[in-house]
A and B are shown apart, each in its own frame.
Chain A
Amino acid sequence: MVERKKKTNNEIIRLKNVAKWYKAGDEIVKAVDGVDIVINKGDFVAIVGPSGSGKSTAMNLVGALDIATKGDIFLDNINIEKLHESDLAQIRGRKIGFVFQTFNLIPTLTALENVTLPMIFQRVPYEERVARAKELLTKVGLDHRLTHLPNMLSGGERQRVAVARALANDPEVILADEPTGNLDTKRGEEVAQMFNKLSDEGKTIILVTHDMYVAKHADRIYKLKDGKIENKSGRK
């Protein structure tokens, strides 16, 4: 067994009374409704809950993809609710790596190009980003699939490319919204193992999942119901 790194106590993400309400016709949908969470550097956190409980909504708020209706979200002590879109883009590009349920690879780009894309937006020079992308694809076991287009890859392989892409700019936080949702149990377990490994390397990971087997990999599990945290359970 690999020795788990000693958790430092400095926080990286803090949600303070965060809410996200949607107006659907006359009704107001409180997708997220008063959530307080603190996540420290290197934490591996899972969020579970029934469909429609607000998991993706909360994740998108943390990932600076969306603006909260109420409350503050601090990332590295910066209140991202107060930032402009171009600064948010910068944060998404540098500090966060996203992994989606549907892989979301760019279909016209090869595996290698997909992994280099986040680095293009950060103006990483060509040689450097290609070298880095190759390194990452090797790490996820796809060094023999560099020039494959997404539609020539299996689901498990696609998700591994997506993980490599999420790591491109060496972000502190990895956000994964049901990364195993479109994979069979075996492939799902492989991907979950990868998150384990990343956690061991010190990445902060937030993982949304339906699957309790996958959630078990995390240090801590938050259960969400109707936009509120129902309970929190530690692993150790």
Chain B
Amino acid sequence: MLKDFFVLGLNNLKRRKLRSWLTMIGIFIGIAAVVSLMSLGQGLQDYITDEFEKLGSDKIIIQPKGMGPPGSAGGSLILTSKDLKVIENVRGVEWAVGFLIKQGQARVGDESGIGFASGLTPEDRRSLNEIQGWGIIDGRDLKKGDKFKVVVGYNHIYGDIWDKPVRIGSNIEIEGYDFKIVGVMGKIGNPIDDGLLHVDKDILKEVLGVEDEESQIMVKTSPSFDTEEVAETIERKLRKSRGEKEKQETFNVQTSEQLLNTFQNIFAVVQGVLVGIAAISLLVGGIGIMNTMYTSVVERTKEIGTMKAIGAKNSHVLMLFLIESGLLGLVGGLIGVGIGIGLAKGAEYIAGIYIGTPLLQASMSPVIIIGALIFSFVIGTLSGVLPALQASRLKPVDALRYE
């Protein structure tokens, strides 16, 4: 019986094709927006969580205040090698690594571009390789005393940073100084890391004219220590050595877990707002369905009378109209999911091609897809409740006499 009603409902939607399509637009725009936003959001979250998992929960990151990409903080808000010393001496710190990441001009032949250069000491690099999964896939790593040698990020050789072929043994000019490529890093997956030029820290300072600066300091806590306690100690000690008051620090100490939480919170808010906006369009879509169903009930008054005359109960009429409006929602939802997946994949593709970032990954979880379909069917059905009730309550004679 229910199956027959579905067939009848589909029949009626086909009968008024144009109107059905127009009605469904309201739903599928909303569903497409929700699906694409949620799947991209999910992908981004997966990626970030994954990155933090690689990082491990025993890490502490110290940055100058003023969030932004490493190297962008200016003025007095910098960390120095003195801070690094203070941190290294905190109990529970297994190792502390100071990064120096700076923007600079690079040139190969007559091509030039702005890129990030990273300066690390060889020991630091070894510590990091073990957590970031950084590794040399060709050539060799930097050694102590390697002046004017550079290990390049993956994209310099295999990506599209340079038009000319660049290989081990080629020269890259950084801020006017010639560096010889000795090694290539494996693909990390984000355009900043894959575009980095790794050179010796002291050389980088010299070349860029940087006095004493650490863009970021990363700490690994010793196995027997509590990461958060160590982070608190670091904060206290740094505050003291930099002569700053509590709550007015010019630096930021966060454990990897806190960092992940911060990310996820920001993220949840952003996604909530976006999905909320999309949900409003679904509400509008639902009202569209209600409107269409009311029109349909009026137009088919005589038909409803006929059905009652040949034995349809009120509940049958109610069901027929509910299923019809549910189908409007469901079919709209199906199209919406299709378009949503298309949009998300498109965004992923474009981001991959033009920005080279893996941050926008469309994550097509069945939960999102099935959830969206159920949701759209429910919206359709709910929107149909009032019109369907009106239809079912029509008195047979009145409906039959309706002109």
Contact = CB atoms under 8 A, between A and B. Distances in A.
Interface of A: 60, 63, 65-66, 85-86, 89-90, 92-94, 98, 100, 104, 106-109, 117-118, 120-123, 165-166, 168-169
A63 B309 CA distance: 8
B303 interface: yes
Contacts of A166: 310
A121 B397 contact: no
A177 B311 CA distance: 17
A118 B310 contact: yes
B295 interface: no
Contact of A85 (B306, B307, B314, B400): B314
Given A120-B1, A121-B316, 11 more contacts: A63-B309, A85-B313, A86-B315, A92-B310, A92-B396, A100-B400, A104-B302, A108-B15, A122-B311, A123-B1, A166-B310
Interface string B308-350: 1111111110000000000000000000000000000000000
Given A92-B310, A94-B311, A118-B310, A107 B1 contact: no
B261 interface: no
Task: Give chain B's interface secondary structure class.
Answer: helix
Contact of A108 (B11, B308, B315, B396): B11
Interface string B13-48: 011000000000000000000000000000000000
B310 A165 contact: yes
Given A65-B396, A65-B400, A169 B306 contact: no
B276 to A, nearest CB: 39
A121 B306 CA distance: 13
A15 to B, nearest CB: 17
Interface of B: 1, 4, 8, 11-12, 14-15, 302-303, 305-316, 395-397, 400
B309 A169 contact: no
B227 to A, nearest CB: 67
Nearest to B10: A108
Contact of A92 (B302, B303, B309): B309
A89 B400 contact: no
Contacts of B15: 107-108
B23 to A, nearest CB: 17
A100 B310 CA distance: 11
A65 B309 contact: yes
Given A98-B309, A109-B11, A60 B314 contact: no
Contacts of B302: 104
Nearest to B316: A121
A93 B315 CA distance: 14
A169 B396 contact: no
A186 B82 CA distance: 111
Contacts of A118: 310-311
Nearest to A66: B397
B400 A93 contact: no
A166 B310 CA distance: 8
A89 B1 contact: no
A93 B310 contact: yes
B244 to A, nearest CB: 77
22 contacts: A65-B308, A89-B311, A89-B314, A92-B309, A92-B310, A94-B311, A100-B309, A104-B302, A104-B303, A106-B306, A107-B303, A108-B14, A118-B310, A120-B4, A121-B311, A121-B312, A121-B313, A121-B316, A122-B311, A165-B310, A166-B310, A168-B310
B1 A98 contact: no
Given A65-B396, A108-B12, A86 B313 contact: yes
A168 B312 CA distance: 14
B311 A65 contact: no
Per CB-CB distance, the 9 closest pairs between chain A and chain B, nearest first, are A93-B311, A121-B311, A118-B310, A89-B313, A65-B396, A104-B306, A66-B397, A108-B15, A108-B11
Contacts of A106: 303, 306-307
Contact of B313 (A90, A107, A109): A90
B5 to A, nearest CB: 8
A221 to B, nearest CB: 24
Contacts of B395: 66
A168 B303 CA distance: 18
Contacts of B307: 106, 117, 121
Q: Which of B14, B307, B310 lies at the interface centre, i.e. has the most chain A CB atoms within 10 A of its CB?
A: B310
Contacts of A89: 308, 311-314, 316
A60 B12 CA distance: 28
A63 B1 CA distance: 25
Contacts of A108: 8, 11-12, 14-15
A158 to B, nearest CB: 13
B397 A65 contact: yes
Given A65-B308, A123-B1, A86 B397 contact: no
Contacts of B303: 104, 106-107
Nearest to A91: B311
Contacts of A121: 307, 310-313, 316
Nearest to B392: A85
